[in-house]
């Protein structure tokens, strides 16, 4: 199930007030205006009335330059520029460095119902943190039935039909020292440029359901080192009862599984009695680490075979025809001296 990527100013303030040290300066409501863009905007020339390229769905950040410009203008000129700027209508204004906004700025914002926020952070620090927070809050999101686990630093999303053994395999991996991120329901989001991150729902965080045992608190059982809050999904591992002809024996054909429009590498593990699924999943993570370092075992093996075949073909061409081809005997010329007979 996918959720729309937008957030109201009031909810954004609740989520970002502490990390961004934000306070609300306005008292005229309008906190239901929606922020729909991860990017922020510095007004610049827009404060002079040139508002052609103002995007009202972005948070408008006013720093020392913008406030000094407004104070350097005549009140009439400043108000005229602000009237055009705030009439877009803007989702909200955010003032950095803890600066005090001019009275005429607050009057124009009140008249247009634009919320005004303030942070004591320096503009560069504030913009950096604000951008990261917006990426987290506004990323496209969906929920997936599966188990997300961190194996050797690689985020593996285990998928498959209900009851196939995803949670049991994840529990075996936790016993090997790896870390649980989410069980049963994984909330996924896309972060720029094209990375998929997963986390557990708040109610399910650090818990796991094992048939026959019920709900387990992994933190209480194995400690805080056995869990983590979120992880980038780097490989999707499908556990299925696939037939022999349904999967690649060599592993040279790349397979992907799309998540919110991003193709994530896919590894398919067919279930058979007696197979150690947890160990196979761990090998998937180790093989992915090798690929990160530029080593693809399957492709390297295929290249060796192709090189051997090519070398054999070149050798056959150099040696000429095979032994079954008759070789003509050269005739002696009329002036040739016959070879002496050997007694």
Residue 294 pLDDT: 85
Residues 48-63: what's their mean pLDDT? 94
Q: Which of 270, 292, 314 is the last residue of a domain?
A: 292
**Least trusted range by pLDDT, from 15-24, 48-57, 250-259:** 250-259
Which two structure tokens, joined as six digits, stand for 308? Answer: 């051997």
- Exactly one of 53, 249, 272, 331 is catalytic; name it: 249
Q: What is the CATH number of the domain that holds 95?
A: 3.40.1390.20
User: Are 127 and 13 part of one and the same domain?
Assistant: yes
Is 82 contained in some domain?
A: yes
Whether 331 is in a domain gets the answer no
Do 172 and 263 have their domain in common? Answer: yes
pLDDT one-digit tens code per residue, 240-290: 876 655 666 666 677 899 999 899 999 998 888 878 999 999 999 999 999
Is residue 303 one of the residues assigned to a domain?
no
Are 221 and 234 in a shared domain? yes
Higher-confidence residue of 280 and 319: namely: 280
Q: Judge whether 103 lies within some domain.
A: yes
Residue 124: predicted pLDDT: 94
CATH code at position 248: 3.40.50.300
In a domain, 148, yes or no: yes
Residues 144-162 have a mean pLDDT of 95
- Residue 166 labelled as part of a binding site: yes
- The two three-digit tokens of residue 111, written as one number: 């008249």
Give the end of a domain, one of 113, 138, 163.
138
- Could you tell me the CA-to-CA distances from 207 to 9, 196, 264 in Å, in that order? 32, 22, 25
How many distinct structural domains can be found in the chain?
A: 2
pTM here is 0.70
76 is in an annotated binding site: no
Are 86 and 149 found together in one domain?
A: no
Higher pLDDT, 328 or 148: 148
Please list the alpha-helical segments (H only) found in the chain.
9-20, 64-72, 75-86, 103-112, 123-138, 166-175, 218-222, 277-292, 297-319
- Residues of the chain above pLDDT 90, percent: 65
pLDDT at 105: 95
The answer to whether residues 175 and 207 belong to one domain is yes
Average pLDDT over residues 67-84: 94
Residues 155 and 132 in one domain: no
Going by their DSSP bridges, the two strands 59-62 and 214-217 should be labelled as: unpaired
- Res 306: pLDDT: 84
Which pLDDT band, with edges at 50, 70 and 90, does 328 fall under? low
Domain shared by 183 and 157, yes or no: yes
- Whether the per-residue pLDDT at 341 is higher than 50: the answer is no
Q: What's the confidence (pLDDT) of residue 342? A: 43
Q: What is the mean pLDDT of residues 163-173?
A: 93
The least confident of 116-130, 216-230, 326-340 is 326-340
Domain residues for 178?
141-292
Give the per-residue pLDDT at 305: 83
Same-domain check for residues 146 and 287: yes
Among candidate residues 2, 39, 111, 145, the one labeled active-site is 145
Residue 131 lies in a domain: yes
In this structure, the answer to whether residues 181 and 223 fall within a common structural domain is yes
Q: How confident is the model at residue 1 (pLDDT cuts 50, 70, 90)?
A: very low
Q: What is the pLDDT of residue 340?
A: 44
Q: Residue 199 above 90 pLDDT?
A: yes
Q: Is residue 175 part of a domain?
A: yes
What is the rounded end-to-end Cα distance, in angstroms, of the chain?
Answer: 99
Same-domain pairing of 130 and 188: no
Q: How many helices (H) and strands (E) does the chain have?
A: 9, 20
DSSP per-residue letters across 279-298: HHHHHHHHHHHHHHTT--HH
Annotated catalytic, 166?
Answer: yes
Residue 321 has pLDDT above 80, yes or no: no
207 is catalytic: no
Provide CB contacts within 8 A for 176, sequence distance 6+: 278, 282
Question: Is 52 marked within a binding site?
Answer: no
Q: Could you tell me which residues come within 8 angstroms of residue 45 by beta carbon, excluding any fewer than 6 positions away?
A: none
For residue 4, is pLDDT > 60?
no
Higher pLDDT, 201 or 253: 201
124 is in an annotated binding site: no
Q: Domain for residue 132, yes or no?
A: yes
> Catalytic: which of 57, 136, 184, 296?
184
113 annotated as ligand-binding: no
Catalytic (active site) residue 107: no
| pLDDT of the residue at 163 | 86
Could you read off the pLDDT of 207-248 as tens digits, one per residue?
A: 999 988 999 999 999 999 999 999 999 999 999 876 655 666
Residue 333's pLDDT is what?
46
- 33, 166, 179, 207: the active-site residue: 166
Tell me if residue 53 is catalytic: no
254 with 194, same domain: the answer is yes
Is 31's pLDDT higher than 60?
yes
Is there a binding annotation on residue 165? yes
Q: Which of 122, 138, 154 is the last residue of a domain?
A: 138
Domain identity same for 70 and 161: no
């Amino acid at each position: 199930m996918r959720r729309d990527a937008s957030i109201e100013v009031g909810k954004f303030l609740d989520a970002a007030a502490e990390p961004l040290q934000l306070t609300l300066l306005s008292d005229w409501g309008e906190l239901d205006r929606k922020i729909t863009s991860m990017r922020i905007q510095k007004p610049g020339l827009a404060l002079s009335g040139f508002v052609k390229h103002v995007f009202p769905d972005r948070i408008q950040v006013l720093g020392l330059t913008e406030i000094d410009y407004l104070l350097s203008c005549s009140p009439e000129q400043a108000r005229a520029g602000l009237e055009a700027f705030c009439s877009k209508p803007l989702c909200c204004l955010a003032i950095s460095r803890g600066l005090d906004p001019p009275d005429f700025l607050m009057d124009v914002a009140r008249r247009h119902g634009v919320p005004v926020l303030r942070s004591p952070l320096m503009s560069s620090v504030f913009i950096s943190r604000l951008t990261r927070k917006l990426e987290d809050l506004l990323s496209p999101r969906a929920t997936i039935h599966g188990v997300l686990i961190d194996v050797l630093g690689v985020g593996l999303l285990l998928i498959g039909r209900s009851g196939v053994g995803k949670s049991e395999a994840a529990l075996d991996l936790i016993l090997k020292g790896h870390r649980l991120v989410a069980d049963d329901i994984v909330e996924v989001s896309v972060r720029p440029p094209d990375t998929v991150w997963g986390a557990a729902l708040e109610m399910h965080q650090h818990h796991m359901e094992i048939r026959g045992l019920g709900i387990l608190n992994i933190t209480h059982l194995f400690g805080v080192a056995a869990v983590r809050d979120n992880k980038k999904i780097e490989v999707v591992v499908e556990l299925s009862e696939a037939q022999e002809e349904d999967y690649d024996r060599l592993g040279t054909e790349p397979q992907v599984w799309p998540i919110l429009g991003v193709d994530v590498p896919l590894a398919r593990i067919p279930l058979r009695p007696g197979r150690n699924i947890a160990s196979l999943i761990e090998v998937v993570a180790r093989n992915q680490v090798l690929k990160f370092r530029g080593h693809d075992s399957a492709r390297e093996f295929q290249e060796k075979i192709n090189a051997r075949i090519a070398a054999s073909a070149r050798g056959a061409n150099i040696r000429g025809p095979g032994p079954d081809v008759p070789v003509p005997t050269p005739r002696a010329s009329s002036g040739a001296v016959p070879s002496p007979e050997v007694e």
